[in-house]
Protein backbone atom coordinates (compact mmCIF):
# COMPACT_ATOMS: atom_id res chain seq x y z
CA UNK A 1 0.00 0.00 0.00
CA UNK A 2 2.82 2.38 0.82
CA UNK A 3 4.37 1.50 -2.50
CA UNK A 4 1.23 2.71 -4.33
CA UNK A 5 1.22 5.86 -2.23
CA UNK A 6 4.81 6.51 -3.27
CA UNK A 7 3.89 5.95 -6.93
CA UNK A 8 0.97 8.41 -6.60
CA UNK A 9 3.18 11.03 -4.99
CA UNK A 10 5.86 10.65 -7.65
CA UNK A 11 3.31 10.92 -10.49
CA UNK A 12 1.71 14.02 -8.92
CA UNK A 13 5.09 15.62 -8.37
CA UNK A 14 6.14 14.90 -11.95
CA UNK A 15 2.90 16.46 -13.22
CA UNK A 16 3.45 19.56 -11.10
CA UNK A 17 7.03 19.93 -12.30
CA UNK A 18 5.85 19.42 -15.89
CA UNK A 19 3.25 22.18 -15.36
CA UNK A 20 5.85 24.67 -14.18
CA UNK A 21 7.49 24.52 -17.62
CA UNK A 22 4.47 26.39 -18.99
CA UNK A 23 4.70 29.19 -16.45
CA UNK A 24 5.96 32.58 -17.65
CA UNK A 25 9.56 33.45 -16.98
CA UNK A 26 10.50 35.18 -13.78
CA UNK A 27 9.81 38.91 -14.22
CA UNK A 28 8.56 38.46 -17.80
CA UNK A 29 7.02 41.82 -18.77
CA UNK A 30 4.58 40.09 -21.13
CA UNK A 31 3.17 37.63 -18.62
CA UNK A 32 -0.60 38.02 -17.97
CA UNK A 33 -0.07 39.30 -14.44
CA UNK A 34 2.11 42.12 -15.75
CA UNK A 35 -0.07 43.30 -18.62
CA UNK A 36 -3.53 43.39 -17.01
CA UNK A 37 -3.79 44.45 -13.36
CA UNK A 38 -0.30 45.65 -12.39
CA UNK A 39 -0.07 48.61 -14.83
CA UNK A 40 -3.62 49.61 -13.88
CA UNK A 41 -2.69 49.74 -10.19
CA UNK A 42 0.63 51.49 -10.78
CA UNK A 43 -0.84 54.14 -13.07
CA UNK A 44 -4.01 54.91 -11.13
CA UNK A 45 -2.93 54.56 -7.51
CA UNK A 46 -2.11 58.26 -6.97
CA UNK A 47 -5.14 59.44 -8.88
CA UNK A 48 -7.61 57.12 -7.20
CA UNK A 49 -6.29 56.69 -3.68
CA UNK A 50 -3.84 59.59 -3.10
CA UNK A 51 -1.39 57.03 -1.71
CA UNK A 52 2.15 57.07 -3.12
CA UNK A 53 2.93 53.57 -1.85
CA UNK A 54 1.22 51.27 -4.34
CA UNK A 55 1.72 48.25 -2.08
CA UNK A 56 -0.37 49.83 0.66
CA UNK A 57 -3.12 50.88 -1.71
CA UNK A 58 -3.30 47.39 -3.24
CA UNK A 59 -3.23 45.65 0.14
CA UNK A 60 -5.74 47.83 1.96
CA UNK A 61 -7.92 49.23 -0.81
CA UNK A 62 -7.99 47.22 -4.03
CA UNK A 63 -7.61 43.98 -2.10
CA UNK A 64 -9.44 45.07 1.03
CA UNK A 65 -11.38 41.84 1.49
CA UNK A 66 -8.16 39.87 1.47
CA UNK A 67 -6.64 41.97 4.24
CA UNK A 68 -9.87 41.73 6.25
CA UNK A 69 -9.52 37.96 6.00
CA UNK A 70 -5.88 38.11 7.08
CA UNK A 71 -6.75 40.22 10.10
CA UNK A 72 -9.49 37.77 11.01
CA UNK A 73 -7.01 34.89 10.72
CA UNK A 74 -4.63 36.62 13.15
CA UNK A 75 -7.50 37.40 15.53
CA UNK A 76 -8.70 33.79 15.35
CA UNK A 77 -5.21 32.45 16.07
CA UNK A 78 -4.99 34.63 19.17
CA UNK A 79 -8.39 33.51 20.42
CA UNK A 80 -7.57 29.85 19.76
CA UNK A 81 -4.31 30.25 21.69
CA UNK A 82 -6.26 31.61 24.64
CA UNK A 83 -8.86 28.85 24.40
CA UNK A 84 -6.32 26.02 24.21
CA UNK A 85 -3.69 27.20 26.68
CA UNK A 86 -5.25 29.54 29.20
CA UNK A 87 -5.88 28.02 32.62
CA UNK A 88 -6.77 29.63 35.87
CA UNK A 89 -5.21 28.31 39.05
CA UNK B 1 6.25 30.98 34.09
CA UNK B 2 8.83 33.67 33.58
CA UNK B 3 10.10 34.63 37.00
CA UNK B 4 11.38 38.03 37.92
CA UNK B 5 14.96 38.49 36.81
CA UNK B 6 16.55 41.45 38.53
CA UNK B 7 19.32 42.95 36.47
CA UNK B 8 19.87 46.69 36.63
CA UNK B 9 21.52 46.97 33.22
CA UNK B 10 18.81 45.06 31.34
CA UNK B 11 15.97 46.82 33.13
CA UNK B 12 17.41 50.31 32.64
CA UNK B 13 18.24 49.76 28.98
CA UNK B 14 14.82 48.36 28.20
CA UNK B 15 13.15 51.19 30.11
CA UNK B 16 15.06 53.58 27.86
CA UNK B 17 14.39 51.56 24.72
CA UNK B 18 10.68 50.83 25.02
CA UNK B 19 9.33 54.37 24.38
CA UNK B 20 11.36 54.87 21.16
CA UNK B 21 10.31 51.40 19.99
CA UNK B 22 6.65 52.23 20.53
CA UNK B 23 7.07 55.62 18.83
CA UNK B 24 8.75 53.90 15.88
CA UNK B 25 5.87 51.40 15.71
CA UNK B 26 3.33 54.24 15.51
CA UNK B 27 5.52 55.85 12.83
CA UNK B 28 5.56 52.63 10.80
CA UNK B 29 1.76 52.37 11.04
CA UNK B 30 1.13 56.02 10.20
CA UNK B 31 3.76 56.21 7.46
CA UNK B 32 2.54 53.15 5.58
CA UNK B 33 1.22 55.44 2.86
CA UNK B 34 4.66 56.72 1.92
CA UNK B 35 7.19 54.05 2.82
CA UNK B 36 7.34 50.33 3.48
CA UNK B 37 5.24 49.58 6.52
CA UNK B 38 1.66 49.39 7.56
CA UNK B 39 -0.57 47.75 10.09
CA UNK B 40 0.99 44.30 10.24
CA UNK B 41 4.59 45.48 10.58
CA UNK B 42 3.82 48.31 12.99
CA UNK B 43 1.60 46.08 15.10
CA UNK B 44 4.40 43.53 15.35
CA UNK B 45 6.88 46.18 16.53
CA UNK B 46 4.37 47.49 19.06
CA UNK B 47 3.80 43.96 20.35
CA UNK B 48 7.57 43.42 20.51
CA UNK B 49 7.92 46.37 22.86
CA UNK B 50 5.49 44.77 25.30
CA UNK B 51 7.27 41.43 24.94
CA UNK B 52 10.56 43.19 25.76
CA UNK B 53 8.91 44.51 28.90
CA UNK B 54 7.84 40.97 29.86
CA UNK B 55 11.37 39.67 29.28
CA UNK B 56 13.16 42.47 31.13
CA UNK B 57 10.78 42.68 34.08
CA UNK B 58 8.12 40.02 34.51
CA UNK B 59 4.59 39.22 33.44
CA UNK B 60 2.99 40.98 36.41
CA UNK B 61 4.79 44.21 35.62
CA UNK B 62 3.73 44.08 31.98
CA UNK B 63 0.16 43.26 32.93
CA UNK B 64 0.01 46.31 35.15
CA UNK B 65 0.57 48.34 31.98
CA UNK B 66 -1.98 46.41 29.94
CA UNK B 67 -4.21 43.87 31.65
CA UNK B 68 -5.38 40.69 29.99
CA UNK B 69 -8.93 41.98 29.70
CA UNK B 70 -7.80 45.12 27.87
CA UNK B 71 -5.57 43.02 25.65
CA UNK B 72 -8.39 40.72 24.61
CA UNK B 73 -10.68 43.68 24.01
CA UNK B 74 -8.00 45.28 21.81
CA UNK B 75 -7.55 42.13 19.75
CA UNK B 76 -11.23 42.17 18.77
CA UNK B 77 -11.41 45.99 18.59
CA UNK B 78 -9.06 46.03 15.59
CA UNK B 79 -11.24 43.66 13.58
CA UNK B 80 -14.29 45.69 14.62
CA UNK B 81 -12.64 48.91 13.39
CA UNK B 82 -11.79 47.26 10.07
CA UNK B 83 -15.19 45.75 9.42
CA UNK B 84 -16.90 48.81 10.93
CA UNK B 85 -15.33 51.04 8.29
CA UNK B 86 -16.70 48.62 5.72
CA UNK B 87 -20.16 48.81 7.28
CA UNK B 88 -20.01 52.62 7.31
CA UNK B 89 -19.32 52.50 3.57
CA UNK B 90 -22.26 50.12 3.21
CA UNK B 91 -24.57 52.50 5.14
CA UNK B 92 -23.49 55.38 2.88
CA UNK B 93 -24.78 53.38 -0.10
CA UNK B 94 -21.49 52.12 -1.53
CA UNK B 95 -19.95 48.68 -1.70
CA UNK B 96 -18.47 47.05 1.38
CA UNK B 97 -14.99 48.57 2.05
CA UNK B 98 -15.38 51.09 -0.79
CA UNK B 99 -13.80 53.98 1.12
CA UNK B 100 -14.33 56.56 -1.62
CA UNK B 101 -17.88 57.17 -0.37
CA UNK B 102 -16.49 58.46 2.95
CA UNK B 103 -16.15 61.89 1.34
CA UNK B 104 -19.87 62.32 2.06
CA UNK B 105 -19.18 62.62 5.79
CA UNK B 106 -15.73 64.27 5.57
CA UNK B 107 -14.69 67.42 3.70
CA UNK B 108 -12.16 65.70 1.41
CA UNK B 109 -12.02 64.53 -2.17
CA UNK B 110 -12.75 60.94 -3.14
CA UNK B 111 -9.06 60.05 -3.46
CA UNK B 112 -8.23 61.53 -0.05
CA UNK B 113 -11.21 59.73 1.45
CA UNK B 114 -9.70 56.51 0.12
CA UNK B 115 -6.36 57.39 1.72
CA UNK B 116 -8.11 58.05 5.04
CA UNK B 117 -10.01 54.77 4.75
CA UNK B 118 -6.73 52.93 4.16
CA UNK B 119 -5.28 54.64 7.25
CA UNK B 120 -8.24 53.61 9.41
CA UNK B 121 -7.94 50.05 8.21
CA UNK B 122 -4.21 50.02 8.96
CA UNK B 123 -4.86 51.25 12.49
CA UNK B 124 -7.36 48.42 13.00
CA UNK B 125 -4.89 45.85 11.69
CA UNK B 126 -2.13 47.26 13.90
CA UNK B 127 -4.25 47.09 17.06
CA UNK B 128 -5.27 43.49 16.39
CA UNK B 129 -1.74 42.34 15.52
CA UNK B 130 -0.27 44.01 18.61
CA UNK B 131 -2.80 42.49 21.01
CA UNK B 132 -2.62 39.03 19.45
CA UNK B 133 1.20 39.00 19.50
CA UNK B 134 1.22 39.87 23.21
CA UNK B 135 -1.48 37.37 24.14
CA UNK B 136 0.12 34.51 22.18
CA UNK B 137 3.50 35.25 23.75
CA UNK B 138 2.08 35.40 27.28
CA UNK B 139 0.14 32.16 26.85
CA UNK B 140 3.03 30.26 25.26
CA UNK B 141 5.69 31.58 27.65
CA UNK B 142 3.74 30.74 30.79
CA UNK B 143 1.84 27.68 29.63
CA UNK B 144 -1.39 29.59 30.12
CA UNK B 145 -0.87 30.04 33.84
CA UNK B 146 -0.05 33.71 34.15
CA UNK B 147 -2.20 34.94 37.00
CA UNK B 148 -4.09 38.22 36.95
CA UNK B 149 -2.22 41.24 38.22
CA UNK B 150 -3.71 42.88 41.27
CA UNK B 151 -6.30 45.38 40.12
Q: Is the pLDDT confidence value at A5 over 90?
A: yes
Burial classification of residue B58, based on how many CB atoms lie within 10 Å of its CB (0-12 exposed, 13-18 middle, 19 or more buried): middle
Quote ipTM for the complex.
0.85
pLDDT reading at B150 higher than 60: no
Contact between B124 and B42 under an 8 Å Cβ cutoff? The reply is: no
Contact A75 B76 (CB under 8 A): yes
Contact B128 A64 (CB under 8 A): no
Give the pTM.
0.83
pLDDT digits (tens, 9 = 90+) for B4-38: 667 889 889 999 999 999 999 999 999 888 888 88
| Torsion-angle region of B90 (φ positive above 0: left; ψ -120 to 50: alpha; else: beta) | alpha
Model confidence band, residue B2 (pLDDT cutoffs 50, 70, 90)? low
Q: What's the whole-number mean pLDDT along residues A20-43? A: 84
Q: What do you get for the CA distance between the two ends of chain B, in Å? A: 20
CB-CB under 8 Å, A86 with B121: no
Arithmetic mean of pLDDT, A56-79? 91
Alpha helices in A1-89 (DSSP H): 2-20, 32-35, 37-49, 54-57, 64-85
Mean pLDDT confidence for B91-113? 87
| Chain B residues closer than 8 Å to A57 by CB | 114, 118
Amino acid sequence: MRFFALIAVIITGALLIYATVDMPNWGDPNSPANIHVSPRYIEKTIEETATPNAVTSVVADYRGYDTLGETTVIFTSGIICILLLRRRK
Amino acid sequence: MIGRFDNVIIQTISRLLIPPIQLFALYVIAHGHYSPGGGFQGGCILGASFILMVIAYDIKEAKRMMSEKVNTIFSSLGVIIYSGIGVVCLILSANYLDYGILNKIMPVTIAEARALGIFGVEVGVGITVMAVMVSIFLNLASGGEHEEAEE
